[in-house]
Amino acid sequence: MKGLIIYVKENSFNAVKQILVDNQVDGITYFDIMGQGHLDRESTERIVQGYKTGEKYTPEFARRTRIETVVSDSKVNLITEALKKDANVHGRIFIFDISESQDL
């Protein structure tokens, strides 16, 4: 089994979810997060007391979506290739081994 942690821009979530569903991934967990790293941050207009200033700035942290799932080893390459091919998905995926899992 492999664990997948996928970081994408907020607007990429539905595309990632659809790829996971298409590959019969049952359990998906996602979080709306703030972070900084290799993904581009978009400039936004500064608003002061309800008035637009016309001034642009790049925020230190950007909104992202973190998606977690566990899949069989055989699905990892299919999922990663589908994510890479989709033009709507921009982000990073981390893949790690799951040595053991237990139901509670």
Looking at residue 33, its amino acid is I
Q: Is the pLDDT of residue 66 over 70?
A: yes
CB 35 within 8 A of CB 64: yes
**How many residues appear in the chain?**
104
CB 54 within 8 A of CB 85: no
Compute the average pLDDT of residues 86-93. Answer: 89
Q: Is the pLDDT of residue 57 over 70?
A: no
Read off φ and ψ for residue 19, nearest 5 degrees: -65, -40
Q: What is the CATH number of domain 2-97?
A: 3.30.70.120
Query: Distance between CA atoms of 52 and 18, rounded to whole angstroms?
Result: 37
**Residue ranges of the domains in the chain?**
2-97
Residue 67's SS3 state is: strand
